[in-house]
Amino acid sequence: MHATLPLLAKTDFPPLARQVISTLQVNLGYRCNQSCVHCHVGAGPNRTEEMSRETVDAVIDFMDANASIQSLDLTGGAPELNPHFRQLVIAARARGLKVIDRCNLTILEEPGHEDLTEFLAAHHVEVVASLPCYLEDNVDRQRGKGVFDASMRALKRLNDLGYGAPGSGLVLNLVYNPQGPVLPPAQGPLERDYKRHLDEKFGARFNSLFTLANMPIQRFGSMLVSKGQFNTYMTLLREAHRAANLEQVMCRSLLSVDWQGYLYDCDFNQQLGLGLQSSGGRRAHITEITAAALEASPVRVADHCFGCTAGQGSSCGGALDQ
């Protein structure tokens, strides 16, 4: 059982407005082969939510109808567990879109996914892989026993196909999350530490490291509540807020789609049920709205948004202030 999170109160987070939407971030479902402590989705092996073929087709139609979309960002759960994952990748690449797979690495060793690395490389999919530390004990504590070793094997398999190699065109980025209710360290120096350690110990390489703050929602937020740390962490995020980060927060150029096709400003708002609304006051669905119609519209904000603007900032592409 998870602790009950505080209800969202009226926030004093600064107002935000959308710019041109260039990234479509699609959550293919909450099923995952792991149950990570920091997961803001609350994903795990027992989750059953999964995007249907009909909704996947609606996503493809949306890509066709909205020329501003340049990137398709696939997330979950483990997005690769959705049976339509490959269809969506192929469709997006055929349309010239950049495709990002937010991969937990261990999925590459799951039965039925033995050829996944080859598929990703063949379609030049950018892999953004979660590796919350370069030390085995810390990773296994946060993600489960044996996860670190499996992640290193997966990294090497990706490297063997050219991922992370200069000039290969196969991009492999890693994601760092803090172990607890603290802000991530500076991204640049930590990236250098990751590269040195992984190369020396495992001969593994990657392109860039993204540092992400843990969001005070879902599984991580519940953990904070159960330990009496929720208010302290929210105070930390508020006090570290930097107005300069507001210009680059991901929600201004990203549209989030849940497994049923409903629309949100970001994946975090999706998990909190803070959806976009259609002109009739209903939840906005991908079949009934255009990217252009959302330009200059207000972004729904709440207290958790301070997690994206605190310190060096945090987004799906790592620190904002680099």
The tokens of 197 are what? 């350690």
Top-tier CATH class for 23-309: alpha beta
Q: Establish whether the linkage from the previous residue to 77 is cis, with ω within 30° of 0.
A: yes
pLDDT digits (tens, 9 = 90+) for 243-266: 999 999 999 999 999 999 999 999
For residue 2, what pLDDT is reported?
Answer: 46
Residue 1: band (very low, low, confident or very high) from pLDDT cuts 50, 70, 90: very low
For residue 172, what pLDDT is reported?
Answer: 98
Q: Which H helix or E strand runs over 23?
A: strand 23-27
For residue 135, what pLDDT is reported?
Answer: 75
Which stretches within 23-115 are classed as H helix? 53-65, 85-94
pLDDT digits (tens, 9 = 90+) for 181-230: 999 999 999 999 999 999 999 999 999 999 999 888 877 888 899 999 99
The amino acid sitting at 175 is V
Q: State what percent of residues in the chain have pLDDT above 70.
A: 92
pLDDT digits (tens, 9 = 90+) for 298-311: 999 999 999 999 99
Q: Say yes or no to pLDDT of 5 above 60.
A: no
- Output 318 or 44, whichever has higher pLDDT: 318
Residue 10: band (very low, low, confident or very high) from pLDDT cuts 50, 70, 90: confident
**Contact of 244 with 14, CB cutoff 8 Å:** no
pLDDT digits (tens, 9 = 90+) for 98-117: 999 999 999 999 899 999 99
Q: Say yes or no to pLDDT of 129 above 50.
A: yes
Residue 35: band (very low, low, confident or very high) from pLDDT cuts 50, 70, 90: low
Its pTM stands at 0.93
**Neighbouring residues of 209: CB distance < 8 A, sequence distance ≥ 6:** 173, 174, 175, 176, 187, 190, 191, 194, 195, 318
Residue 173: band (very low, low, confident or very high) from pLDDT cuts 50, 70, 90: very high
Range in 9-23, 48-62, 129-143, 200-214 with the lowest mean pLDDT = 129-143
Quote the longest CA-to-CA distance of the chain. 58
The amino acid sitting at 147 is V
